[in-house]
Structure 1
Amino acid sequence: MLLKLTGSSCSGKTTLAYSVGERLRHVVVHDFDELGVPEGADRRWRNRMTEMWVRRALEYQDRGIDLLLTGQSPLGEVLASPSAPLLNGIAVCLVDVSDEVRCSRLTKRDPGRWDAPAVDAFLDWAAWHRNHAEDPRYRPDVIFDDSWSGMAWYRWAEWTSNDRRWRTHLLDTTDRPVAESVDQVEHWVTEQRDALKSGRLTLSRGWSDETADRAGHGS
């Protein structure tokens, strides 16, 4: 299955993922940008790379291995990727942090690199992630506009926040020790894997079928 840690920059996604990967069997960890980010990378690039990682997850799936992937693609982009319905299961966790902490981390990580408008863009993207996690109808234009033509947005474009398939786990790392956050991510990963095995995972194979029982309300 694909286990995705998403969110804006400097929330701690990569640190948490690699720490968890050392604890669990049959889980491989990758960072979305590990193959490099080209100059002028845009939304279409992120869309195509999301599909590439979904295909990589399918390769691991065939070998009985789950992919824990860090990156900034939100739930909606993962679900719209062409190959997403072929995955046995999908689970997404939004790793978040307060604006104050994010600004501090950006300054420490990349001294002098980001001006005020760039920092505001990171914060706006983080705020959008929070709202998207709660409601698929919150400003879908942010990811729909100028997107790659291969994306299948129609799969969830009519969903509401009550649709049980629309679920992103939220982990706020603000003022939380790293070790505690690692424990939380490990617990989340274990829960999602157990849910898939027991048939309780809402984004298991068949989630994209337009049937009443899959799109019903509830938890």
Structure 2
Amino acid sequence: MLLKLTGSSCSGKTTLAYAAAVRIGKIAVHDFDELGVPEGADRHWRHRMTEMWVRRALEYQDRGIDLLLSGQSPLGEVLAAPSAPLLDGIAVCLLDVDDPVRRARLVERDAGRWDSQAVHAFLGWAEWHRKHAVDPSHRRDVIIDHSWPEMVWRRWTDWNAGDPRWRTHLLDTTDRPVPESVDLVERWIIEQRGALQAGRLPLRHGWAS
């Protein structure tokens, strides 16, 4: 299955993914951007890369291995990736932090790199993630307009906030020690695997039909 840790920058996605994965068997961990981010990367690039990672997850799936992927693609983009219905299961967790913490982390991690407009964009993207996680109708244009033509948005654009398939687990890492957050990510992975095995995972094979 594909286990996706999503969210805006500086929420701890990559750190927590690698730390949790070492505790768990039969799981591969990758960062969405590990192959490099081209100059002027846009939605087209992110959507194409989402499909590439879904295909990588399918390769792991054939070997009996799950993929834990950290990156900024939200649930709606994962579900619209052309090959997504071929996965045995999909689970998404939104890692989030309060805006002041994210702002401080951006400054600490990339001192002098981002101007106020760029920081504001990161915070706006985080706010959009929060609302998208609970409501599929929220500002769909943010990811759909001018998107990669191969994306299949119709799979979920008629869903409402009460649809059991529209499920993103929220983990707020604000003021949490890293070991505690790692424990929670590990627990989430174990729970999603258990739900898949028991036939209770909402986004198990067949969800798109």
TM (norm. structure 2) is 1.00
Question: What is the distance in 1 between the residues matched to 2:47 and 2:108?
Answer: 29
Q: Structure 1, residues 75-102: CA drift from partner, whole Å, max 9, x if none?
A: 0000000000000000000000000000
Q: Secondary structure at the match of 2:105?
A: helix
Mapping of residues 47-196 of structure 1, within 5 Å:
47-196=47-196
Q: Give the superposition deviation at 1:108.
A: 0.6
The aligned amino acid for 1:89 is G
The aligned amino acid for 2:192 is Q
The aligned amino acid for 1:51 is E
Q: Give the superposition deviation at 1:165.
A: 0.2
Q: Secondary structure at the match of 2:169?
A: strand
Q: Give the superposition deviation at 1:28.
A: 0.6
Q: Secondary structure at the match of 1:169?
A: strand
Q: Secondary structure at the match of 1:132?
A: helix
Q: Give the superposition deviation at 1:184.
A: 0.3
Question: What is the distance in 2 between the residues matched to 1:152 and 1:9?
Answer: 26
Q: Give the superposition deviation at 1:169.
A: 0.0
Q: Structure 1, residues 17-55: CA drift from partner, whole Å, max 9, x if none?
A: 000110000011000000000000000000000000000
Indicate the residue corresponding to 1:215 in structure 2: none
Q: Give the superposition deviation at 1:181.
A: 0.3
Indicate the residue corresponding to 2:8 in structure 1: 8
Indicate the residue corresponding to 1:207 in structure 2: 207
The aligned amino acid for 1:40 is G
Q: Give the superposition deviation at 1:188.
A: 0.2
Q: Structure 1, residues 173-205: CA drift from partner, whole Å, max 9, x if none?
A: 000010000000000000000100010001000
Indicate the residue corresponding to 2:21 in structure 1: 21
Question: What is the distance in 2 between the residues matched to 1:22 and 1:192?
Answer: 17
Q: Give the superposition deviation at 1:141.
A: 0.2
Question: What is the distance in 2 between the residues matched to 1:76 and 1:203?
Answer: 12
The aligned amino acid for 1:118 is A
Question: What is the distance in 2 between the residues matched to 1:186 and 1:161?
Answer: 26
Question: What is the distance in 1 between the residues matched to 2:198 and 2:102?
Answer: 37
The aligned amino acid for 1:67 is L
Question: What is the distance in 2 between the residues matched to 1:159 and 1:129?
Answer: 17
Q: Secondary structure at the match of 1:5?
A: strand
Unmatched 5+ stretches in structure 2: none
Q: Secondary structure at the match of 1:29?
A: strand
Q: Give the superposition deviation at 1:128.
A: 0.1
Question: What is the distance in 2 between the residues matched to 1:157 and 1:196?
Answer: 24
Question: What is the distance in 1 between the residues matched to 2:21 and 2:188?
Answer: 13
TM (norm. structure 1) is 0.95
Stretches (4+) displaced over 4 A = none
Question: What is the distance in 2 between the residues matched to 1:171 and 1:198?
Answer: 24
Q: Give the superposition deviation at 1:114.
A: 0.3
